[in-house]
Structure 1
Amino acid sequence: MSDLYGRHKAVLPDWLALYYADPIEITHGEGRYVWDAAGKRYLDFFGGILTTMTAHALPEITKAVSEQAGRIIHSSTLYLNRPMVELAERVAELSGIPDARVFFTTSGTEANDTALLLATSYRRSNQILAMRNSYHGRSFSTVGITGNKGWSPTSLSPLQTLYVHGGVRTRGPYADLSDDDFIAACVADLEDLLGHVRPPAALIAEPIQGVGGFTSPPDGLYAAFRQVLQERGILWIADEVQTGWGRTGEHFWGWQAHAENGPPDIITFAKGIGNGMSIGGVVARAEIMNCLDSNSISTFGGTQITMAAGLANLTYLLEHDLQGNARRVGGLLIERLRAVAAQLPGVREVRGRGLMIGVELVKPGTDTADPETAAAVLEAAREEGLLLGKGGGHNTSALRIAPPLSLTVAEAEEGAAILERALRSCVQ
């Protein structure tokens, strides 16, 4: 055990998860690669949990942060803040929400917490619809709407949460249906549920479930849900903490795969927009955002140095068409991994969009999750210089692949080759 690991265990909580039997300290990075304290290089296929969205040590962002730090780092939201206004203007325009207002936080958890405050205040209801297998953060309110027991340390909550079918296409009671019939069954279930309860405040849903193992419904499910919700005045909150900013390749936002009935009422975001800096936020129609009848602030939300990073990062993302790169390179990577999976009975499914790819492992010949093998693949890939994530609602048996969106074809092939060897050595 390294000295740093021993010190970690001595002062930090036991529930603060670490990857690997022998945890590594990442000391620096460049592009799509990082190095540990021993000098070993890794191809980063997880980006600090989908947070390093463009690249490590990107000069444009480093320069913007350095220049802003030389002027002022922080003043709070009690004063006018030019970088915050400029980033809010761009996010509002990109959101697709008419007459949008933007509130910045420091994390996705805080963003979702704020969205819940807005929705429940606006609707005067503490009932929330959430998806099974979902994850929305680690605060008291967001744990209360998380539908993944592995990330729910308590059932206590200030909210009454009702869980809806549909976030996982290939498991559950409707898995064997066609896409159209799957959507129809989920909508019928939602309508039946709403017939038994007072109208909830909102439905919160990840377009692709992140911690849940990169699962998603057929395109159009949330559009169909939206029609049911709109008839009853129920809001739709799209949790875009992991799916936003072009990661899925086909769309800038995950909700756009379900856009038939217009944009969500509220969008939450975080992670990738800061490229490692602590930025989260909420976008909502003005009437919803302005419904609170008391004062509030965000001491560290929207601070100048994080806004400077966000502006530089968003500019780079758009000017270099990283959404298009995610679509092209991600498509090649998914097909490469599916070809490998077809030869391994222990790989149940390769799924995802763009550079958001899940590889679900099971005990061969069954649908039983195999978290031990998933952990073994994670270790084997790390030994060969590849960092992956893991997740899933079935005992973290899905490998999660989410590299920076600037990933090259050569790097995708490098990572796929390492992962193939790791899968073949661990999966039956």
Structure 2
Amino acid sequence: MTNDLLGRHRAVLPDWLALYYEDPIEITHGEGRHVWDAQGNRYLDFFGGILTTMTAHALPEVTKAVSEQAGRIIHSSTLYLNRPMIELAERIAQLSGIPNARVFFTTSGTEANDTALLLATAYRRSNTILAMRNSYHGRSFSSVGITGNRGWSPTSLSPLQTLYVHGGVRTRGPYASLGDADFIAACVEDLVDLLGHTRAPAALIAEPIQGVGGFTSPPDGLYAAFREVLHERGILWIADEVQTGWGRTGEHFWGWQAHGQNGPPDIMTFAKGIGNGMSIGGVVARSEIMNCLDSNSISTFGGTQITMAAGLANLNYLLEHDLQGNSRRVGGMLIERLRSAAAQVPAVREVRGRGLMIGIEITRPGTDEADPKAAAAVLEAAREGGLLIGKGGGHNTSSLRVAPPLSLNVAEAGEGAAILENALRSIQ
């Protein structure tokens, strides 16, 4: 049956639509932190549909909210007043930390970043964008144009002029040998030099922790130092929180707060986890930026009632059960367990991350050379052991990504770590 489904997939869907595993699986249902495939195999889910199942699979509070809303009305567009959309926007505006914030809902992180770019370029009257090397911001024409990761950038054509800044990857590149303070100073100096050679950009867009890039990040405070330089020149800061938001990093509710010494971003984008599987994305911006567009605009599917009902229920559950605190506690234990195991595996170059957002970089032992085959082998071995993880990275996809639902408990973290330890040992 799976082979038949795979053949049908290949017959009608694009060749570039990636599937995990040599023998791809069909996930049929899930509960809590577990999912099942069509053959009845149960897996501990440490990837959550690419960081999207944020709280739990089949969370009763979310499924109840969706069912009840579906029984009333599913959709009406933004042309009509929408109570769930207004209520969720009020909550997000308050949580964002952005003063006088306005919220616009989209259907994905790609569309959210697309909207942020539209706002920034219109507000600043400039189509020049600063982006980070090794970054990823989506698959639309404009977001591909600012993606600093060759493996996820299928075209060099773009409506934007993009200039790439150094600093998103702490342990690679020309400044890797420096201490944190000197690393930040060197990256700021590079930014200032870059700005001296170009017309004033509209904005810098940056992921506080690079998701597709392999969960890499700069030292805390880098973007605060960047913001000081940008603010002096009127350049906006867009924080891409599509993967880092809602408490996943444990220490902060938003990733930007590790760099918030000079205030919040001017624009923030979000998506993925807030819907717990429902299609929600969005943009938060200061009112003068959000309101700068001088033409009509609506959204057909952004903010539809059924997705907003899911988002409200999911956000309430996350806050009431302190899933940010759980991410800090359980994630801290998990990352230390994985670092201890990785110390015995020469192919593991680094275990990094914070909270329940952990990256494991695989290289050829004794070198910094990526080993995508070994990383793929770990992915396969983990699946054989009953664990689903992800992969990414800017160096030929050689990083494993671990990002379970934020309700992960200590026993499940230990179970997943044991499976992953065995999978890592299998490549020696």
If the length of structure 1 is used for normalisation, what is the TM-score? 1.00
What is the DSSP-based 3-state SS (H/G/I as helix, E as strand, rest coil) of the residue aligned with 2:261? coil
Does residue 64 (structure 1) correspond to residue 65 (structure 2)? The answer is: yes
The CA deviation string for residues 327-370 of structure 1, in whole angstroms up to 9 with x for no partner, is 00000000000001111111000000000000000000100001
Where does residue 347 of structure 1 map in the other structure? Answer: 348
Where does residue 189 of structure 2 map in the other structure? Answer: 188
Tell me, in whole angstroms, the C-alpha distance in 2 between the residues paired with 1:303 and 1:188. 45
Tell me, in whole angstroms, the C-alpha distance in 1 between the residues paired with 2:119 and 2:367. 44
Does residue 137 (structure 1) correspond to residue 138 (structure 2)? The answer is: yes
- Percent identity between matched residues is 88
Where does residue 253 of structure 2 map in the other structure? Answer: 252
- Shift in Å, 1:221: 0.1
What is the DSSP-based 3-state SS (H/G/I as helix, E as strand, rest coil) of the residue aligned with 1:246? coil
Where does residue 56 of structure 2 map in the other structure? Answer: 55
Where does residue 397 of structure 1 map in the other structure? Answer: 398
- Shift in Å, 1:120: 0.1
Alignment of 1:278-427 (within 5 A): 278-426=279-427
Amino acid of the structure 1 residue aligned with 2:358 = I
Amino acid of the structure 1 residue aligned with 2:193 = D
Does residue 82 (structure 1) correspond to residue 72 (structure 2)? The answer is: no
Tell me, in whole angstroms, the C-alpha distance in 1 between the residues paired with 2:420 and 2:404. 14
Where does residue 102 of structure 2 map in the other structure? Answer: 101
What is the DSSP-based 3-state SS (H/G/I as helix, E as strand, rest coil) of the residue aligned with 2:76? coil
Tell me, in whole angstroms, the C-alpha distance in 1 between the residues paired with 2:229 and 2:93. 26
Tell me, in whole angstroms, the C-alpha distance in 2 between the residues paired with 1:69 and 1:132. 42
What is the DSSP-based 3-state SS (H/G/I as helix, E as strand, rest coil) of the residue aligned with 2:329? helix
The CA deviation string for residues 362-413 of structure 1, in whole angstroms up to 9 with x for no partner, is 0001000010000000000101110000000001100000000000000000
- Structure 1 runs of 4+ aligned residues shifted over 6 Å read none
- Shift in Å, 1:289: 0.1
Tell me, in whole angstroms, the C-alpha distance in 2 between the residues paired with 1:378 and 1:361. 11
Amino acid of the structure 1 residue aligned with 2:16 = W
Alignment of 1:147-226 (within 5 A): 147-226=148-227
Where does residue 262 of structure 1 map in the other structure? Answer: 263
What is the DSSP-based 3-state SS (H/G/I as helix, E as strand, rest coil) of the residue aligned with 2:262? coil
Where does residue 15 of structure 2 map in the other structure? Answer: 14
- Shift in Å, 1:312: 0.1
Tell me, in whole angstroms, the C-alpha distance in 2 between the residues paired with 1:345 and 1:388. 20
Tell me, in whole angstroms, the C-alpha distance in 2 between the residues paired with 1:241 and 1:133. 16
Tell me, in whole angstroms, the C-alpha distance in 1 between the residues paired with 2:222 and 2:330. 26
- Shift in Å, 1:272: 0.2
Amino acid of the structure 1 residue aligned with 2:361 = E
- Shift in Å, 1:303: 0.1
Tell me, in whole angstroms, the C-alpha distance in 2 between the residues paired with 1:2 and 1:288. 51
Tell me, in whole angstroms, the C-alpha distance in 2 between the residues paired with 1:215 and 1:294. 38
What is the DSSP-based 3-state SS (H/G/I as helix, E as strand, rest coil) of the residue aligned with 1:400? strand
Tell me, in whole angstroms, the C-alpha distance in 1 between the residues paired with 2:305 and 2:263. 33
Amino acid of the structure 2 residue aligned with 1:5 = L
Tell me, in whole angstroms, the C-alpha distance in 1 between the residues paired with 2:3 and 2:42. 19
Tell me, in whole angstroms, the C-alpha distance in 1 between the residues paired with 2:233 and 2:358. 35
If the length of structure 2 is used for normalisation, what is the TM-score? 1.00
Listed as ranges, the gaps of 5+ residues in structure 2 are none
What is the DSSP-based 3-state SS (H/G/I as helix, E as strand, rest coil) of the residue aligned with 2:91? helix
- Shift in Å, 1:318: 0.1
Indicate the RMSD between aligned Cα atoms, in angstroms.
Answer: 0.4
Tell me, in whole angstroms, the C-alpha distance in 2 between the residues paired with 1:241 and 1:116. 15
Amino acid of the structure 2 residue aligned with 1:240 = E
Tell me, in whole angstroms, the C-alpha distance in 2 between the residues paired with 1:407 and 1:166. 31
Tell me, in whole angstroms, the C-alpha distance in 2 between the residues paired with 1:260 and 1:130. 21
Where does residue 44 of structure 1 map in the other structure? Answer: 45
Tell me, in whole angstroms, the C-alpha distance in 1 between the residues paired with 2:346 and 2:279. 40
What is the DSSP-based 3-state SS (H/G/I as helix, E as strand, rest coil) of the residue aligned with 2:324? helix
- Shift in Å, 1:258: 0.2
Amino acid of the structure 2 residue aligned with 1:253 = W
